[in-house]
Every structure is written in C-alpha cells, then in structure tokens.
A and B are shown apart, each in its own frame.
Chain A
C-alpha cells in the first residue's frame, strides 16, 4: 500500500514539513526528482496536507475546548452546516452513528464560549452536549513521526 520511500518522506515531513526536499533526497540517497514525484503523488492522492500548528494562546486565544454533541437524524445536516460555518471551530469530526459531532473550538475568553454555546443551543436541537476544557496539550500529531509507527 505504501512504499518504504513514501514512509521515509511521510516521517520526515510529519516532523518538519518545511524541510528542503533536495536535502532530504541527499540524506536518503534518492534522486531529487524521485523525491519530488513521491511528494506530489502523496499530495495528489490527498494523503497529506501541509499545515503549521500554532500556539493559539500566544495569538490571544487562550481557551481551547472540545465538545461532543448529539442531534437528531433529521437535524444532522443543519448541524453540520452550522458547525462548518463557524470561524472559531478548528476541527470537526462526525462520530459514532453520524448524529454525534466532536469538535474543537478556540476562543478569546469565556464570554465568547458562552455566546457560542447559546447560539448552538438556540439554533440546533441537541439531545446531548458535553464540554471539556483543555488544561494542557500533551502531544500533537505524533503518530507516524517515527518509522517504527508503521509496524
């Protein structure tokens, strides 16, 4: 499914996606063109996207929360539209039967959180809502940062 060369490039870019591809080619003794081809193929197949992770707190957004909500089957689509349209939402997943959503919100202060929650409940029929504040980020995007992880 995935070649040894692809594994190497994935691990390298998981650790630093701004790395110079020419230097990587030299490191592993691959031709530069092969390295670029591998990367482009992975990008075209939408296996990976390049993204910088930032410390939101240092940008003035110290509150990170996860929410797990449940809606009814007939409101699943409107809920999806509501969440994807919100600027404060960093990541959204559908979970379990697809009527549950797990998402991560980033906020400037508690007032913003309260306003968001009010709007969420006002515009969407929810059968369940759980809110978890992040106290500490312990590790982030760690899987496949080492070749052994492919085992």
Chain B
C-alpha cells in the first residue's frame, strides 16, 4: 500500500504532467492549500522526485537515431562496460536488467556513423550478446501517475 495519501499522489501527478506547473494552479486543481503543497514539495525533493527535467523530442534537434540496446558481457568485463556506458555522451538511460542480459541502454545519435562508432567501442570491450531496437515512434512517455483524475484508481 502507498505510504502516501491521495493528495500526495495528486500533487505528484500534476508535476509528472508538467514539472513547471505553479503551485497556485496545483492548489486550485487539487484543493490542497498552497502552504501544504510547498511543504510537501520539500519533502518529495530528492526523495520521491528524483529529477525535475524536460523530456526532449531528440529528432527535432537533429538526432535521427534513438536506439535501445540489450547488452550481455562476461562477468569480468561487466564493470568496464558499465563505466563505458555511464560515461558515454550519447547514452540517455541505462538499466541493469535480468533475463539473459546485463544492461538495457537507450542512446541517441545524429547518424549511423555515430552509432557505428559507439558499437565499435562496445565490441572493443567484448560483448557476448547484443540486440538493437531502433525506436520509430514514442507512443507514451512518462505517463504512469501523470493523470491526477486517475490516481484514485492506483490506491
């Protein structure tokens, strides 16, 4: 069960939908006093809210390729691989996963040459298994708990 109440979930849903939404608007829409929202935000910061960010349509900035890559390496190379993907500029999201792979990496590239360079570097580390998925379209992004009107269903 959630340790947080319905008001908390509603406030968070508003911020998930628009992290720049001002507190007056959230207060009006949730009927939670501004002072309470202000206090809750302090409580959420760096704990429940891990990052207030912007989600970018990379294609519109000239990055034509968004790729999800599943990677498996040997145990002795896992740390090297982790450091490489963590530090690589093109990498956007990284997860440690199970079911036959070590990492799921989402990376963004301007063109195939950049992707090939990235793949060459991976090969140098030593990859046992790899699967690439080219993302054609984002159908939904960060949608979970982003609709204040539906949060009650989640409790």
If over half of B's interface residues share one DSSP class (helix, strand or loop), that class is named, otherwise mixed; here it is mixed
Q: How far is the CA of A136 from the CA of B70 in the complex (A)?
A: 15
Q: Are B133's CB and A102's CB within 8 A? A: yes
Q: Give A101's nearest chain B residue, CB to CB.
A: B139
Q: How far is the CA of A90 from the CA of B55 in the complex (A)?
A: 13
Q: Are A136's CB and B139's CB within 8 A? A: no
Q: Are B140's CB and A90's CB within 8 A? A: yes
Q: How far is the CA of A124 from the CA of B20 in the complex (A)?
A: 38
Number of residues of chain A lying within 8 A (CB) of chain B: 66
CB-defined contacts of A68 to chain B, threshold 8 Å: 133
Q: Are A98's CB and B136's CB within 8 A? A: yes
**Interface check B127, CB cutoff 8 A:** no
Q: Are A87's CB and B91's CB within 8 A? A: no
Q: How far is the CA of A44 from the CA of B63 in the complex (A)?
A: 19
Q: Give A139's nearest chain B residue, CB to CB.
A: B94
Q: How far is the CA of A87 from the CA of B145 in the complex (A)?
A: 8
- Output the residue of B51, B94, B98, B142 with the most chain A CB within 10 A: B51
Q: How far is the CA of A149 from the CA of B89 in the complex (A)?
A: 6
Stretch of B8-16, B32-40, B118-126 lying at the A interface: B8-16
Q: How far is the CA of A143 from the CA of B105 in the complex (A)?
A: 12
Seen from chain B, the residues whose Cβ lies within 8 Å of a Cβ on chain A are 1-4, 9, 12, 15-21, 44, 47-58, 60-62, 68, 70, 82, 85-86, 89-99, 101, 103-104, 107-108, 133-146, 150, 153-154
Q: Are A2's CB and B62's CB within 8 A? A: yes
The minimal Cβ–Cβ distance linking A120 to chain B, given in whole angstroms, is 15
CB-defined contacts of B19 to chain A, threshold 8 Å: 17-18, 50-52
**Interface check A22, CB cutoff 8 A:** no
Q: How far is the CA of A16 from the CA of B51 in the complex (A)?
A: 7
Contact of A91 among B51, B58, B142, B150 (CB under 8 A): B142
Contacts A87-B153, A95-B68, A146-B89 aside, 15 further interface pairs with beta carbons under 8 A come to: A1-B62, A2-B62, A13-B53, A16-B51, A51-B53, A51-B142, A52-B52, A66-B95, A94-B139, A96-B133, A132-B99, A133-B97, A139-B86, A143-B90, A151-B89
Q: Are A60's CB and B68's CB within 8 A? A: no
CB-defined contacts of B4 to chain A, threshold 8 Å: 59-60
Q: How far is the CA of A46 from the CA of B94 in the complex (A)?
A: 25
Known: A91-B142, A137-B95. A58 touches B47 (CB 8 A): yes
Known: A60-B3, A84-B140. A14 touches B92 (CB 8 A): no
Q: Are B97's CB and A95's CB within 8 A? A: no
- Output the residue of A93, A95, A135 with the most chain B CB within 10 A: A93
